[in-house]
Amino acid sequence: MSSSSSSSLIHGISISVSDDDEASGKVRVRVRRKRHHRHPATARRRRLLRRAARLGAPLLLAALAVSLFLYESFSLSPPSHSLPPAGNLTRVDHAGDGARKSCLKILGPEKLENLELPEVPEQILPVNEVVYRSSVRLDDGDSSQTKFSRFNSFTGYQTLDEREESFKMKEITTVHCGFYNENGGFKVSDIDKDYMRSCSVVVATCAFGGGDDLHQPIGMTEVSTKKVCYVAFWDEVTRAAQQEEGNRIDEDHRIGLWRIILVRDLPFSDQRLNGKIPKLISHRLFPMARYSIWVDSKSQFRRDPLGVLEALLWRSNSSLALSEHGARSSLYDEGKAIVKKHKATPEEVKIQLDQYRQDGIPDEKRFNGKKALAEASVIVRDHAPLTNLFMCLWFNEVVRFTSRDQLSFPYVLRRLRMPGVHLFPVCTRKDLVNSIGHRRKVKPLARE
């Protein structure tokens, strides 16, 4: 038996009724949706987007995978302490500087080759001679000493009255300036003493306690290598550490351009304080030198020394040049930062700053139009009597209070009011040195 069906269309709704449905009493309803005719361009765009999505997804996933791989490789790699090759000593490495213009306006190569030290000018200065206190050891129980001072037979025992008197500029000024007693320490060989006496221009650095590697200077002319002494002060700990890494001192007492001076009997257990001796009172080590440039051991000197002297001292008629501080301007703000970074104890810093307030040092951020705070990783100076006095006073402050020399520099600057101090911008310091950073922690000097 065949079945029959009938259908009718009412307002777009198709109702189909079959015999079977009628028998069962069921009616099936199918709703026919009206078709919306899409614009051909819209449909084409959608097809293109779907196709692009299908093709682009794998490429995006591949790019993400490569990026993740590179990131993981970089994260797992050990930090590198390698330097740019220093074999070419006439090349100044500008890695990391990009297209930045130099802040240091140094003479061209031809003029540098013919550059000579200027004649010593005849000047009427407030200080013509500095006499260094020595030999007589005072009572080390002097009540003027702070409990944090490190005065000893190397420094002498400066009283507060002597400290105050030392800031009064006289034609002949007597002052403590290290090497107080012949048994005070910082001993070098007679051969090294003779070499240091022969130097008229010095680039100096030091590494005590095995803390840093020796970075060969770059960027100098051949003339400068003959006229300038490059001197690195080491102790036996540093010599042994460098020898383990294959850096051996040759028969001429050199490693590369650096003449190595081995120091025995360091006077302080604090290696940072031992480092202040060649840093701040280099005129006591190089009695015949007219100029010196100090470079911290964490840096690589990258300019011609005679060109630096001409640019930072001779051209501006200056006696002492060092960098403005990059982060702060006030010594009192610096004191807070030193405590926060645990570079000195709160008690040490408080004693020092309380004394400076008592001495009338204001909390001002500018001095003579410049920042009142300096960063002393590079020091360019002459060895004239007034500059030598400034450096002696600075050294004494570092011994009396904390080892943070940037905290005592503005104090000495304001008290002595020495003319010819050139605080150059931070960008100039970056032109002078490549900052490498400290490689390892120094070993404190063991005392028996």
Count of alpha carbons within 13 angstroms of residue 294, beta-carbon side: 28
CB 426 within 8 A of CB 373: no
Give yes or no for residue 94 having a pLDDT over 50.
Answer: no
Q: Is 225 helix (H, G, I), strand (E, B) or coil?
A: helix
Compute, in degrees rounded to 10, the torsion defined by CA atoms 320, 321, 325, 331: 10
Give yes or no for residue 120 having a pLDDT over 70.
Answer: yes
Q: Rg for the chain (alpha carbons), in Å? A: 37
Residue type at 371 in one-letter notation: K
Residues forming beta bridges with residue 434, ordered by sequence position: 300
Q: Measured between alpha carbons, how far is 95 from 77 in angstroms, rounded to an integer?
A: 21
Instruction: Kindly state the DSSP code that residue 416 receives in the 8-state scheme.
Output: H
The string of pLDDT tens digits covering residues 137-170 is 544 545 455 555 689 999 999 999 999 999 999 9
- Would you tell me how many other CB atoms lie within 10 Å of the CB of residue 247? 15
Q: Measured between alpha carbons, how far is 436 from 33 in angstroms, rounded to an integer?
A: 76
Residue 246 backbone class (left: φ over 0; alpha: ψ -120 to 50; beta: rest): left
Q: Measured between alpha carbons, how far is 183 from 191 in angstroms, rounded to an integer?
A: 19
DSSP states of 309-358: HIIIIITTT-SEEEEEPSS---HHHHHHHHHHTTSS-HHHHHHHHHHHHH
Q: Measured between alpha carbons, how far is 204 from 379 in angstroms, rounded to an integer?
A: 10
Give yes or no for residue 290 having a pLDDT over 80.
Answer: yes
Q: For the stretch 332-345, what's the b/e string if a residue is b when 16 or more beta carbons lie within 10 angstroms of its beta carbon? A: bbbbeebbeeeebe
- Would you tell me how many other CB atoms lie within 10 Å of the CB of residue 63? 10
Q: Which residue has the higher pLDDT, 61 or 134?
A: 134
Q: Measured between alpha carbons, how far is 313 from 315 in angstroms, rounded to an integer?
A: 6
Give yes or no for residue 30 having a pLDDT over 90.
Answer: no
Residue type at 388 in one-letter notation: N
CATH of domain 128-137+144-435: 3.90.550
pTM, two decimals, is 0.76
Name the maximum alpha-carbon separation found in the chain.
Answer: 140
The string of pLDDT tens digits covering residues 172-190 is 999 999 999 999 999 999 9
Domain boundaries, the chain: 128-137+144-435
pLDDT at 253: 97
Joined together, the tokens standing for residue 399 give 């011994």
The string of pLDDT tens digits covering residues 181-239 is 999 999 999 999 999 999 999 999 999 998 788 999 999 999 999 999 999 999 999 99
The average confidence (pLDDT) of the chain is 82
Cβ-proximal residues to 1 (8 Å cutoff; 6+ apart), any chain? none
Q: Measured between alpha carbons, how far is 421 from 414 in angstroms, rounded to an integer?
A: 11
